[in-house]
Amino acid sequence: MFFQLKETPVKILDTYDKIYELVKAILHFECPDHRAQHHILYTANMQLEAYREAKDFYRRYDDPSYALGCLSREAYEQANKQFHQLSTIIRGYMHLSEDSKRDHFNHHFRFSKEKIDKMHQLFEQKHHHKLLKLEALFYERLKEDVAPLLTQFE
């Protein structure tokens, strides 16, 4: 008696799958303290609130007349940037969570398909980023590339 192994079909990822995977990876990187019993959006909103609090805190001490005041300005701008990027990523994740709109999103991203493909290929090779200790920088640049694509939804 001969046994035949069933060949598992290789799933070809479309643009929707790729951008959704990238957005999910960004959220998980942004929320390193995410726990399995919570939804990722709960943890992401907690992180968003932390950025808002940091933004409000440093805004009060913004004074260019002394060095720590300048540092407070830089910290405020950084917290503001992180807040807006994460907010955009969260909104994009919520839009992309509707699997029924897969065709709509594939159509929407048709002009950015090559860019998304390249970003996804780099993401799949993340073991190189860890080896060179570029992981944080990689995710920062990935957010900068993905956020403009997600702002087109609204």
Helical spans, DSSP H, in the chain: 15-30, 40-60, 67-96, 102-108, 113-124, 126-131, 135-150
Question: What is d(CA 57, CA 69) in angstroms, rounded to the nearest whole number?
Answer: 12
Question: What is d(CA 106, CA 22) in angstroms, rounded to the nearest whole number?
Answer: 15
∠ at Cα 11 (112, 113), nearest 5°? 5
pLDDT of residue 34: 78
Confidence check: pLDDT of 4 > 80: no
What confidence tens digit (pLDDT) does each residue in 112-142 have? 999 999 999 999 988 887 778 888 899 999 9
pLDDT of residue 74: 94
What confidence tens digit (pLDDT) does each residue in 92-111 have? 999 998 888 888 888 889 89
pLDDT of residue 2: 64
Burial class of residue 49, CB neighbours in 10 A (0-12, 13-18, 19+) = exposed
Structure confidence at residue 51 as a pLDDT band (50, 70, 90): very high
What confidence tens digit (pLDDT) does each residue in 63-97 have? 989 999 999 999 999 999 999 999 999 999 999 98
Contacts (Cβ under 8 Å, ≥6 apart) of 23:
89, 92, 93, 96, 146, 150
Mean pLDDT of 137-148: 93
What confidence tens digit (pLDDT) does each residue in 21-40 have? 999 999 999 988 878 878 88
Confidence check: pLDDT of 9 > 70: no
pLDDT of residue 89: 95
How far CA 101 is from CA of 88, 94, 112, in Å, comes to 19, 12, 17
pLDDT of residue 58: 93
Question: What is d(CA 142, CA 85) in angstroms, rounded to the nearest whole number?
Answer: 11
> Are residues 48 and 83 in contact, defined by beta-carbon separation less than 8 angstroms?
yes
